[in-house]
Amino acid sequence: MMRKMMMMLQIILLLTNSVLVSSYGLNSTVQCERGDASETQEVRAGESVFLPCPNLQCFEETVNTTYVWFRNLSTIKQVERIGTEESERIHYHQSVLYILWLNLNDTGRYITRWWYEKGQCAEFETDVVVYEEFSTNLLYDTLPEQVVSRINCPVCEDEQGSIIWYKDFSLIPNQEPGKVLRIQNSSKESEGIYTCVCTWEHHGIKHNSSSSRRVTISPQTISSPPKFLLPINNSIVIADVGSEVILNCSVFYGLTVCDQCSIYWEKNGLMLDGLNGYKLKYRETDGTIQSVLTITKVSESDLHSEFHCKATDSIKVIFVSVTLNSRASVLPVILACICTFLVFLLVGGMLKWFSLDLVLFLREIFIKLYSKEDGKLYDAYVIYQRNNLDEMTSKTVSDFVSGSLPKVLESYYGFKLFIHGRDDLPGEDCMNLIETKIQLSRRLIIILTLGASAEISSNSPEAYDLQVGLHQALVQGETGVILIQLGKMQDYTHLSLGLQHLLRQNSPLLWRDGESSPNSRFWKRVRYQMPAVSSYQSSRVKSRSMTASGPGLLV
């Protein structure tokens, strides 16, 4: 049933076409106007082509017009009409003729008859030549340009399709898709045959059309304007009086010989060719002319003169300048370097010396701005040996712990210390007290003395607070340790292993008897390792210092 309906539809289309053709006088005796000379289309077998009417007006004005295509093949002697059935290998659709899967028998003349008005028509001819293999006759055209930057693909101009490019029949890698192939930095290696293959669809079936063209790169035949390669304009050459100096001048003119091109040297406007003391050599290679000036013995006059290298061609004269300068003395440079080094050394020494004061000053400012409570009650817990000391060492420890340490850190700088014998109450649980006070302290101040012993009884308070403090500092890592050494020691083998471990990490601060000034370097180093004083404590101490009077005031 479906097949019968298709056959009826085809019959109706044929009858309609016959009526339209007859209405325009296809079978009449009307003589059609003949177009210009016939065009030639050369193609390869196996590809497909779509041939538009060779006349632009005929191709574009398809409304209220009628087309009929004919062919006159080389194998037959008569003109035959081409059908419109799209199932046929050769058919046409209005102003476009389709020849699919070309073979050698398709070679011939194809005629377009166009009725643009009733009783008026025109005829246009296209010769199609089919080659079985690639031939130089298939080349679309040749591009004999000096510089080729882009190549256009002439196929698929009126049909949508994808295009790929080949050079000498090998696929060009990394190409950008499109009808234009761009050639970067074309050179002699860019020569060859470039082929574009367009793949297009016709009723769901893919077809290929190709076009090839040869690209040749012609050598440069026109001289360039003179361009200096050497020397740089206004350059300075260092020379000593009596020494030999060589000045090189190179100018590029292009790849061809320039009869009116020349370069020469001048000194203060006077040509140097042939003058005593000056030698000139010329050389020409690959479009570059080179002139080498040799000054055999530099004079005082040369040092105060200006040398010009001039280049001329048939149009203009250009030049560059070169001056000779005597070698400057290196003594000022050496003195400047020494002075700079001394300044940097002085600045570095001052920074190193006053770095501690600067850090303490800045820390005080930042603490006032960003201070936070940490729940601690004491700034430092003082650990020192109170028993088993000789009389002199015991007095030294007592004077330091009871005198200098609290006077400077508490009275002058506002720190809060916990010291055994001063801050504990009689009858308190000693062990519990030590653990609590150490946990409430931000630092541990451990006093090292020559008479300290590692064999202290583990039940003594000084041994227990040392054990708890070392555990807090070394194991838990919650509390910082400040080691203060009273007097000189030969070695630290008499101290406990925990203290020896701390001493290997940080050197102790050495206190000398009588060093009680709060502004001494020793106390600055102690303050540096102490936590920052809170703004409330600092203001309270300063207020107390301002109202204090009498000989006991520390200054």
Q: Could you state, in chain order, the average pLDDT of each consecutive group of 10 residues for the chain (555 residues)?
A: 45 41 45 77 87 83 86 77 88 89 88 86 89 80 58 76 88 82 78 88 87 74 73 88 90 72 87 86 84 90 89 84 82 87 87 72 67 79 83 85 89 88 77 86 87 50 79 81 86 83 86 79 86 58 44 32
Omega cis (within 30) before 177:
no
Nearest-angstrom CA–CA distance, 397 and 461? 16
Distance CA(272)–CA(279), nearest Å, equals 8
Give the pLDDT of residue 451: 60
Q: Which helix (H) or strand (E) holds 23?
A: helix 2-23
Q: How far is CA 500 from CA 443, 458, 503, 526, in A?
A: 18, 18, 5, 20
Integer angstrom CA distances of residue 128 from 12, 45, 50, 138:
32, 11, 11, 12
Residue 26: per-residue pLDDT: 45
Q: Both ends of the chain: CA-CA distance in Å?
A: 123
The two structure tokens encoding residue 193? 């045959």
Do the Cβ atoms of 401 and 410 come closer than 8 Å? no
pTM of the model: 0.39
Cβ atoms of 511 and 378 within 8 Å: the answer is no
Q: How many Cα atoms are found within 13 Å in the side-chain-facing hemisphere of 493?
A: 2
What is the pLDDT at residue 553? Answer: 32
State residue 1's pLDDT score: 43
Q: How many other C-beta atoms can be found within 10 angstroms of the C-beta atom of residue 121?
A: 22
Q: Is the dihedral of CA 306, 312, 316, 320 positive or negative?
A: negative
* Structure tokens that stand for 545 in this block: 């210092």
Beta carbons within 10 angstroms of residue 475's beta carbon: 9
Q: β-pairing, 33-34 with 120-131?
A: parallel
Q: Answer whether 175's CB lies under 8 Å from 165's CB.
A: yes
CA atoms within 13 A on the CB side of 349: 6
| Torsion 50-51-57-62 (CA) sign | negative
> In angstroms, rounded to a whole number, what is the distance separating the alpha carbons of residues 367 and 533?
8
Q: Which residue matches tokens 């520390």?
A: 554
- Give one DSSP letter per residue of 86-149, joined into a string: TTSSEEEETTEEEE-S--GGG-EEEEEEEEEETTEEEEEEEEEEEESS--GGGEEEEEEESS--
Q: What is the helix, strand, coil percentage profile of the chain, to 5?
A: 30, 35, 40
Distance of CA 274 to the CA centre of its chain: 54
Q: What is the enclosing helix (H) or strand (E) of 199?
A: strand 192-202
